[in-house]
Amino acid sequence: MAFVLVPHLDPGHDSILSEILQRATGMPVVEAGDQLKVAPDHVYVIPPNRDMAIFHGTLQLSVPEQPRGHRMPIDTFLRSLADDQGERAIGVILSGTGTDGTLGLRAIIGAGGITLVQEPASAAYDGMPTSAIRAGYATHILPADKMPEALQRTNRALAAHPQTPSTPEVTSGMNRILLLRTATGHDFSLYKKNTIGRRIERRMSQHTIDDLEGYARYLKENPDEVHALFKELLINVTSFFRDPEAFIVMEREILPQLFAEKGDDDTFRVWVAGCATGEEAYSIAILLREYMDTHRRELKVQLYATDLDADAIAVARAGLYPPNILQDLPAERLRRYFVKSDAGYRIKKEIRDMVVFAVQNAIKDPPFTRLDLLSCRNLMIYLETELQNRLIPVFHYALRPGGVLFLSSAESIGGHPELFTPLSRKWKFYRANPSAASARSVINRVLSWEAESKTKPPEEVLKKAQSPNFAELTRQLLLQSYAPASVVTDLKGTIIYVHGWTGKYLRPAPGQATLNVVEMARNGLQFELRRALQHAAQGKELLNREVMVTASGECYTVSLSIRPLADPQIGQGLLLVSFQDVATRAQRRRGASRSWNTNWPIPRRISRSPWSSSRPPMRS
């Protein structure tokens, strides 16, 4: 191993740190120089008043652009280390103040490397270690004197397994571990094996387990470890305006084309798939805001950002980021679109309100459609070719003809050149060609999933699906005409689809935007909905439950029903929530004219949940 030290040094004074450290080690210790190639068993110390990166194993020095107090030299170096060394990168955070290093560790984790963070109780200054640990980017949390053993163990593992071997024993152990999908509902079997194997090795190292079969048994016996491994397999590496030149191309070339095709009353639809903690989505929202302000055009924007990781989505929704983001944002954008706080920078409401965040599996769940722009960057690089070839037609299907797909510089449309026309080969912007091929591919894809558990071949199922189905057409017309107002939600109550007019029963909740049906429910509905969702998650129905609802001084009775959706083509874990008025006009007039002595309406009879005990019902 080569060791590179990046302490916070006084920029105005020469450093004697190299001489001090040389007294404590037999390895050569030198002050880093520009274009100096690192060698094993050497120690390199950054000079004062310099930023440092590593490229192809060679140190690169530069004069800092940021003023003192705004520099993040540790983040700068660790990010470059992640890019340069990938899975062989090791990031170590020791005692220090502030948050420098946190985003650098994030990059190393994303590249498949290892991170060590000093146990805060053993640090003279616990700011940097605490920041890294709270952000979740510490593979190991250790006192400094325990780190050599962890480094040697990591080095031995890298030397012994430069690549995940494909022996029958390894394949068997890997398959048993990837049955993780039965516990999490997510299938990682078509993720790149080297990426998955490295992350599994990282978890094994933390538990000092040496073989895959042993780790598979450990997973079976420890459900908490299943969740920890699931988090390890998710790739949440992003930043604001990642690849700045790509965003310049978007601003100067892509957005003008897309806006030229829009009328003033049109909607601009965007989907950011695999958004991680939201930086990419907010970057696009900022560009849209700036473009509309500059050209004095105010289109309605629907910007959806999704990710598999619920914790990452929670961070994105909060919109609070560490001070380190100032490296990625010009001072003017930071001032214009963020509010500084003690914890970092929070995105301003005007940008936050442009984005709807949701948990979604882009590989398996239905896509958003009629999109003008679809950004999916640094997701496909972790997927096997087979899975990439499934996703590209889905993305084409999601875009309107002429819509634009935005990938990372390491990704491409692969074997589907007929679906897209390149707009920028360097920065991977592609315009969707008018074609029915992607629609057929998407149908095949959905049916192939369905056919996995059946004996009929996909072709036979497809032929049946393409024949006219008058019963289905009739059912759809009856639903449109007579079905009550309804929403489809997941088991947590997040609204996925709306049928009919639901404004009488649901309304946007005050504060931060949400699509949760309980939080959006009007007074009187929230308690019943919350209880019903809990039981519906166990497969139980609630049918025609009468609930008294109040809105705008009016009091009326609503019939509430919740049914699990069991259609295999839709998938598991969805609920149909329906609302229907049952009160007469006379009852409504009496409810509206009645005066109350309390701060909220109290109905004559409050409907009790069918699962409630003798305890009196709660009010929302």
Q: Secondary structure of 360-385 in the HEC alphabet?
A: CCCCCCCCCCCEEEEECCCCHHHECH
* Of residues 322 and 195, more confidently modeled: 322
Helix (H) or strand (E) holding 443: helix 437-451
Same domain, 170 and 117: no
Among 113-117, 378-382, 562-566, 609-613, the range with the most confident prediction by mean pLDDT is: 113-117
Band of residue 412 on the pLDDT scale cut at 50, 70, 90: confident
Give yes or no: residues 253 and 401 share one domain: yes
CATH number at residue 17: 3.40.50.180
* Stronger pLDDT, 403 or 527, i.e. the higher one: 403
What pLDDT is attached to residue 148?
Answer: 93
Q: Is residue 356 part of a domain?
A: yes
Q: Which residue has the higher pLDDT, 122 or 555?
A: 122
Which SS3 state, helix, strand or coil, does residue 267 take?
strand
Same domain, 389 and 299: yes
Above pLDDT 70, what percent of the chain? 76
For residue 467, is it within any domain? no
- CATH number of 326's domain: 3.40.50.150
Return the pLDDT at 191.
65
In contact, 532 and 564? CB cutoff 8 Å: no
Do the beta carbons of residue 423 and residue 404 sit within 8 Å? yes
**Are 250 and 203 found together in one domain?**
no
CATH number of the domain enclosing 177:
1.10.155
Q: Residue 614: what are its φ and ψ, rounded to 5°?
A: -75, -5
Q: In the predicted model, is pLDDT for residue 456 greater than 60? A: no
Considering 204, 233, 262, which residue would you say is the last residue of a domain? 233
Which of these three, 137, 158, 179, is where a domain ends? Answer: 158
Instruction: Please give the pLDDT value at position 453.
Output: 38
Same domain, 169 and 312: no
Whether 476 is in a domain gets the answer no
Kindly tell me if the per-residue pLDDT of 506 is higher than 50: yes
At a CB cut-off of 8 Å and minimum separation 6, what does 300 contact?
Answer: 266, 267, 268
Q: Could you tell me the CATH number of the domain that includes residue 544?
A: 3.30.450.20
pLDDT over 50 at 497, yes or no: yes
Report the pLDDT value the prediction gives residue 592, as an integer from 0 to 100.
45
Above 70 in pLDDT, residue 568? no
Residue at a domain's end among 211, 233, 255: 233
State yes or no: pLDDT of 178 exceeds 80.
no
Query: For the segment 415-455, what is each residue's pLDDT rounded down to a tens digit?
Result: 788 899 999 989 999 999 987 555 555 545 543 444 443 44
Could you tell me what percent of the chain has a pLDDT over 90?
31
- Kindly state whether residues 147 and 166 are assigned to the same domain: no
Count Cβ atoms within 10 A of the Cβ of residue 154 and give its class: 0-12 exposed, 13-18 middle, 19 or more buried: buried
Q: Which of 277, 268, 362 is nearest to 317 (CA)?
A: 277
Residue 208, pLDDT > 60, answer yes
Nearest CA-CA partner of 32 in 108, 24, 21:
21
Spatial separation of the C-alpha atoms in residues 302 and 117, rounded to whole Å: 40
pLDDT-derived band of residue 572, with 50, 70 and 90 as boundaries? Answer: low
Strand, coil or helix: what is 436? coil
At 439 the pLDDT is 52
- What residue has token string 């990372």? 408
Indicate if 42 and 79 belong to the same structural domain: yes
Give the confidence band of 218 by pLDDT, cuts at 50, 70, 90: confident
Q: Going by C-beta distance under 8 Å and a sequence separation of 6 or more, which residues neighbour residue 461?
A: 447, 450, 451, 454
Cβ neighbours for 69, distance < 8 A, ≥ 6 positions apart:
none
**What is the C-alpha end-to-end distance of the chain, expressed in Å?**
60
- For residue 606, what pLDDT is reported? 39
As a whole number of angstroms, the distance between CA 93 and CA 127 comes to 10
Kindly give the interhelix angle for 223-233 and 193-206, rounded to the nearest 10 degrees.
140
Residue 536: inside a domain, yes or no? yes
Check whether 367 has a pLDDT greater than 80. yes
Q: 596: buried, middle or exposed (CB in 10 Å: 19+, 13-18, 0-12)?
A: exposed
Cα angle 492-493-499, degrees, rounded to a multiple of 5: 150
Asked, for residue 603, whether it belongs to a domain, the answer is: no
**Residue 423: which residues within 8 A CB-CB, separation 6 or more?**
253, 254, 404, 429, 430, 431
Containing 575, the helix (H) or strand (E) segment is strand 574-581
**What dihedral do alpha carbons 167, 153, 6, 73 form, nearest 10°?**
40
User: If you average pLDDT over every residue of the chain, what do you get?
Assistant: 79
Same domain, 396 and 518: no
Q: What is the mean pLDDT of residues 31-43?
A: 94
Residue 344, sorted as left (phi over 0), alpha (psi -120 to 50) or beta, turns out to be: left
In a domain, 600, yes or no: no
Q: CA-CA distances (angstroms) from residue 298 to 266, 280, 294, 371?
A: 10, 22, 10, 18
pLDDT given for residue 605 in this prediction: 41
pLDDT, tens digit, 9 for 90 and up, residues 277-288: 899 999 999 999
Residues 198 and 218 grouped into a single domain? yes
Q: Say yes or no: 9 and 133 in one domain.
A: yes
Between these two residues, 169 and 163, which has the higher pLDDT value?
169
Same-domain status, 69 and 165: no
- Confirm if 531 and 617 have CB atoms less than 8 A apart: no
pLDDT of amino acid 81: 95
Q: Lowest mean pLDDT of 172-181, 345-354, 405-414, 500-509, name the range.
A: 172-181
Q: How many domains does the chain have?
A: 4
- Over range 498-519, report the average pLDDT: 76
* Euclidean distance between CA atoms 86 and 113, whole angstroms: 6
Look at residue 524 in the predicted model and tell me its pLDDT. 84
Domain that residue 172 falls in: 161-233
Q: Is 454 a member of any domain?
A: no
Q: Is residue 403 domain-shared with residue 374, that is, in the same domain?
A: yes
- Does residue 71 surpass a pLDDT of 50? yes
Rg, Å, the chain Cα set: 28
50 located within any domain: yes
Q: What is the pLDDT of residues 590-599, one digit of tens each?
A: 444 443 333 4
Q: Tell me, what's the pLDDT at 265? A: 87
Give the per-residue pLDDT at 436: 58
Asked if pLDDT for residue 308 goes beyond 90, the answer is: no
**Residues 531-556: b if buried by 16+ CB within 10 A, e if exposed:** bbbeebeeeeebeebebbbbbeeebb
528 within 8 A of 609, measured Cβ to Cβ: yes
Closest to 180 (Cα-Cα) out of 139, 217, 222, 227: 227
